[in-house]
Amino acid sequence: MNIQIKISKNPISYIKAIKYMEKRVNDIKLGKGRDLLWILEHPLTYTAGIRSNKNEILDKKIKVIKTNRGGKITLHDRGQKIIYLVIDLNNKKKDIRKFINFIEKSIIQFLNKYDITAKTDKNNIGIWVKNKKIAAIGLRLSKWITYHGCSINLNNNLNKYKKIIPCGLNNNKVTSLKNETNNKIINVNKNLKEIFLFNISSI
């Protein structure tokens, strides 16, 4: 499989990451770019997807970046892992539901590594633990090339969600890996890379 693995040790600004992905999408369209699996973190950033509205911003002082991904308002911060996926589905099955299933399956398997039982919810996109959301998914397609991806809360400060209504949910219904396990949060990048790479062959 011709896919680039990119793991960033230092936080990457949201705007810089989006520009990088958009360039990769255009390169793939021109036949000059490879698929991309990118594992990273962002500094504290609030973003609004295409289905968001201003009523979801509870603290009007915060800066919110409008983005073209699916979904509503959410945040990114240190201690939350982002997995961006720039994947050309023209070379695979053009089935976005199957692609989302691949992401859901990968997140659930990742959480299982830390003895956390997680699940999907047919009424709400994302991954859930004990009726609290631990991972969010937001995608964009351009001529069947995916970009954006998912976020998983590891040990980020959940109080920062109180400034918004995240993903249209009560902001008390958000959790993290740290909140749900006593296990050490180790080998995160390694586990994410191995699980997502293994499962991507199914799409």
Active site residues: 167
The separation between the first and the last C-alpha atoms of the chain, rounded to the nearest angstrom, is: 12
Q: Could you tell me the strand order of the sheet in which 145-153 lies?
A: 3-7, 35-40, 80-88, 145-153, 132-142, 124-129, 119-121
Neighbour-count burial of 44, counting CB atoms closer than 10 A to its CB (0-12 exposed, 13-18 middle, 19+ buried) = middle
Q: Which amino acid is at 22?
A: E
What is d(CA 19, CA 29) in angstroms, rounded to the nearest whole number?
A: 15
The answer to whether the Cα torsion of 120, 196, 109, 201 is positive or negative is positive
Q: Which DSSP letter does residue 164 get?
A: B
Neighbour-count burial of 1, counting CB atoms closer than 10 A to its CB (0-12 exposed, 13-18 middle, 19+ buried) = exposed
Residue 187 phi/psi, 5° resolution? Answer: 55, 35
